[in-house]
Amino acid sequence: MRLHVFGMMALAGCAVNKPAVQEQTQFATPQGVAAETTLKTVTSNQTPPPTRSQVISEPIFGKQVKDPYRWLEDEKAPEVQAWMKAQDAFAREELHKLPGRDKLMKRFAELYYLDAYGIPVKRAGRYFYTRRHKDKEKAIVYWRQGEKGDEKVLLDPNAWSADGTTSLGVWVPSWDGKKIVFAEKPNAADEATLYVLDVDSGTRSKVDVIEGAKYAGPSWTPDSKGFYYEWLPVDASIAVSERPGYCELRFHALGSDPKGDAVVHPKTGDPKTFLGGGISRDGKYLFATIARGWNENDWYFQRVGKDKTWQLLVKGVDAKYEVSAWKDVFYVLTDEGAPNKRIFKVDPKKPARAGWKEIVAEDKDAAIEDFAIVGGHIATASLKKAVSEVELFTLEGKRVRTVELPGLGTATNLVGLQDDDEAYYSFSSFTMPGQVFKSSVKSGKSALWAKVDVPVDATPYEVKQVFYPSRDGTQVSMFIVARKDVKRDGQNPTLLYGYGGFDVSLTSNFVGFIYPWLEAGGIYAVPNLRGGGEYGKAWHDAGKGAKKQNVFDDFIAAAEYLVREKYTSEKKLAIRGGSNGGLLVGAAMTQKPGLFQSVICAVPLLDMVRYPQFGSGKTWVPEYGDPSIAEEFKVLEAYSPYHQVKYGEKYPALLMMSADHDDRVDPMHARKFSALIQQSSKSGQPVWLRIEMNSGHGGSDMVKKSIESSADQLAFLFHTLEVSAK
């Protein structure tokens, strides 16, 4: 069984290294902060509700750091709630007035209400898969007895709540195919509760109900009588930012009271770590892994029924590992000593690092992103110049073949069982909607299993990959999607999208959101910024911690390239990003405000001085740095968008997209930054804060809300860049 560690983002507080200053205001402020209160209003063509500010000056490592909207951090305060409602109401009222929005709503309804299938999961002859429907808001999980059997509904989140705010999270069928453990998430947040469903009867167990499943990835025992899972205490007295350090690996036996579940690995006590684990398919080996950020992790194992203590397999020192166990052999994928990764074979009886045997060497031209044991072979999914490549090797590492893909785009790895010839994978590109293929590992033959029919004519458009120099001369690749006959006259409305962090790769994927933009004559550009994973570990390392400014330089250089090559101009250029990408566009607009006409910033990090104190912030310290350390504080504060806003600057138009139940990146970032830009910008451009209600970090999983959100975003871009909707 292959185990993944999935990270969620969040950080911790900053050190005050001067004596505390007595408070000078009736407003509650942290110790060591001087404050007085003023009332600021914003003058612009569209004036949002006024926001009071506090003149707060906090001494941190010899520097006075201002924080005028700290009061907006307390979401539960009645004043903050009232402010949020007023800001959201104003933003929605203005957005609904925009010309072309109704046309966009209709077009997105065509693009988003679709019939689509996910990759099937096979268990004991039963097939489990998700399916979307043109007339449903949420995807449904179905099952069949045999590939051609009758389709039966298993999990339908459309029926779980009257208002559609309850969502489906992780779901994992048992090995005998008779049970499924799944997570329910209120408000599409990360917080979740595990339930167990009997597949044949469709009934939920009333006993097997487990709260605290925010990080849970259930791993069934081979006899299907229980599963291992990650558990967090549901205790309001534990600060949200501290909770990751309380994660435990537990075992649940079906039919037993979850309160008595055995703890098989205790909490780490360190909120900057993630604990994960599970059991091999044959039930012989139990694994636990402790990750420190996105650059290193440790692996431990036990022989089930034989060992009482954990044995260290490998200690990650600036290296990360993924382990898959099959037939008493550990297969290890790692970037240790190989930025593009390589694969080792390990004897569990002799697990010392010195005895590992390399079987798949590092490819200097392609970075492995994923590997799996499928059909008695090793399958790898790699990126070569940010384009997918899927390869097959024997268990001894001999290359068998490269899987023939439909074109240049993005493919998943092969998905299947270790001893089953049948495997599946999906593929899409900017101009090709998603397709699922069924493949034979033995023969290499593939056949279309399912595809998405999208009402899009992609023939007028083409995808180019260009390379441009960043500020320090580093060559960065970028995808540009535009009409084949586009005129490079500097007049094309252009949307530049980026992320650049956490080893995440941006590749050529079908995105329905961009088609109304392309149909209106727009250009869509996606650069592969440092901090991402497109070119392996070295690429990620070059955009994290003290080198984070490289990411912003790469993004700004992409914009400058588009202007220089006359794809667009400053007045026709917009940028968009979410989460870590929200930090990206926040930094870009504060560092180069005159380069962009419009900005869409979604669920972002923007206060990099206080980020570890909120949400999952402490877990991101290995990625960004720790503001409680003097040298790292200097780096963070120097680019922190919230702290780099200048009063009187002419900032581009800003649409801030936030969510009221984001329990990953605290919405305080969006609130504070929006208020500060409203108060500071003198461009006369709109600065609107839109808040998605009953939604988490990833937004709502209801199609109608996605339609509204997309229509608002594009209507905003059309308005601020003077584009007419087609």
Mean pLDDT of 648-670: 96
Please indicate whether residue 579 is annotated as part of the active site.
yes
Provide the pLDDT confidence category of residue 600 given band limits of 50, 70 and 90. very high
221 found inside a domain: no
Tokens of 98: 């925009």
Residues 435 and 469 in one domain: no
CB 40 within 8 A of CB 411: no
- Residue 531 neighbours by CB under 8 Å, 6+ apart: 499, 500, 501, 502, 539, 540, 542, 543, 544, 548, 550, 551
Provide the pLDDT confidence category of residue 45 given band limits of 50, 70 and 90. low
CB 481 within 8 A of CB 473: no
Give me the catalytic one of 508, 579, 700, 710: 579
Determine the structural domain holding residue 361 and report its residue range. 323-453
Q: Tell me: the pLDDT tens digits for 510-568? A: 999 999 999 999 999 999 999 999 999 999 999 999 999 999 999 999 999 999 999 99
381 found inside a domain: yes
- Percent pLDDT > 70 in the chain is 94
DSSP class of 341: -
354 found inside a domain: yes
Q: Tell me: the pLDDT tens digits for 183-230? A: 999 998 999 999 999 999 999 999 999 999 999 999 999 999 999 999
Per-residue pLDDT, 336: 98
Residues 438 and 485 in one domain: no
3-state secondary structure of 265: strand
15 found inside a domain: no
Per-residue pLDDT, 32: 34
- Residue 443 neighbours by CB under 8 Å, 6+ apart: none
Last residue of a domain, one of 402, 433, 453: 453
Q: Tell me: the pLDDT tens digits for 311-368? A: 999 999 999 999 999 999 999 999 999 999 999 999 999 999 999 999 999 999 999 9
Residues 473 and 417 in one domain: no
CATH of residue 408's domain is: 2.130.10.120
Mean pLDDT of 411-419: 98
d(CA 376, CA 416): 10
| Count of the separate structural domains present in the chain | 2
CB 68 within 8 A of CB 55: yes
489 found inside a domain: yes
27 found inside a domain: no
- Percent pLDDT > 90 in the chain is 91
Closest CA to 186 of 716, 662, 717: 662
Residues 584 and 651 in one domain: yes
Residue 34 has pLDDT above 70, yes or no: no
Please indicate whether residue 44 is annotated as part of the active site.
no
Which alpha helices (DSSP H) does 404-548 contain, by range? Answer: 515-519, 537-541
Q: Tell me: the pLDDT tens digits for 133-159? A: 999 999 999 999 999 999 999 999 999
Query: What one-character-per-residue DSSP string does 614-649 give?
Result: STTBGGGHHHH--TTSHHHHHHHHHH-GGGS--TT-
- Chain-centroid distance of CA 118 in Å reads 19
Residue 288 has pLDDT above 80, yes or no: yes
Mean pLDDT of 268-288: 97
**Cα atoms found within 13 Å of the Cα of residue 146, Cβ hemisphere only:** 3
Residues 362 and 383 in one domain: yes
Residues 357 and 473 in one domain: no
- Chain-centroid distance of CA 18 in Å reads 38
DSSP class of 362: P
Per-residue pLDDT, 31: 31
d(CA 613, CA 619): 11
d(CA 301, CA 723): 58
Q: What are phi and psi of 385, to 5 degrees?
A: 55, 45
Provide the pLDDT confidence category of residue 41 given band limits of 50, 70 and 90. very low
Q: Tell me: the pLDDT tens digits for 79-138? A: 999 999 999 999 999 999 999 999 999 999 999 999 999 999 999 999 999 999 999 999
d(CA 10, CA 214): 14
d(CA 613, CA 501): 20
Closest CA to 479 of 524, 517, 516, 520: 524
The single residue listed with the structure tokens 């991402």 is: 532
Per-residue pLDDT, 69: 98
d(CA 427, CA 436): 7
Provide the pLDDT confidence category of residue 26 given band limits of 50, 70 and 90. very low
Last residue of a domain, one of 406, 425, 453: 453
d(CA 472, CA 456): 40
Per-residue pLDDT, 724: 85
The single residue listed with the structure tokens 């008695």 is: 376
Residues 409 and 513 in one domain: no
Residues 416 and 564 in one domain: no
Provide the pLDDT confidence category of residue 38 given band limits of 50, 70 and 90. very low
Provide the pLDDT confidence category of residue 699 given band limits of 50, 70 and 90. confident
> What letter represents residue 238's amino acid?
I
Mean of all residue pLDDT scores within the chain: 93
CATH of residue 503's domain is: 3.40.50.1820
Residues 461 and 438 in one domain: no
518 found inside a domain: yes
d(CA 149, CA 127): 9
Give me the catalytic one of 252, 377, 661, 697: 697
Residue 18 has pLDDT above 80, yes or no: no
d(CA 667, CA 124): 44
Mean pLDDT of 484-499: 98
d(CA 109, CA 57): 48
**Cα atoms found within 13 Å of the Cα of residue 528, Cβ hemisphere only:** 26
Residues 531 and 502 in one domain: yes
Closest CA to 360 of 383, 328, 388, 392: 392
d(CA 627, CA 349): 43
Q: What CA–CA distances, in Å, run from 413 to 1, 345, 391, 402, 503?
A: 15, 20, 9, 12, 17
Residues 554 and 576 in one domain: yes
> What letter represents residue 186's amino acid?
P
389 found inside a domain: yes
CB 13 within 8 A of CB 613: yes
Residues 440 and 467 in one domain: no
Q: Which residues pair with 387 in a beta bridge?
A: 384
Per-residue pLDDT, 10: 29
- Strands 598-602 and 573-578 turn out to be parallel
Q: For the chain, how big is the Rg over CA atoms in Å?
A: 25
d(CA 284, CA 221): 10
Last residue of a domain, one of 431, 453, 475: 453
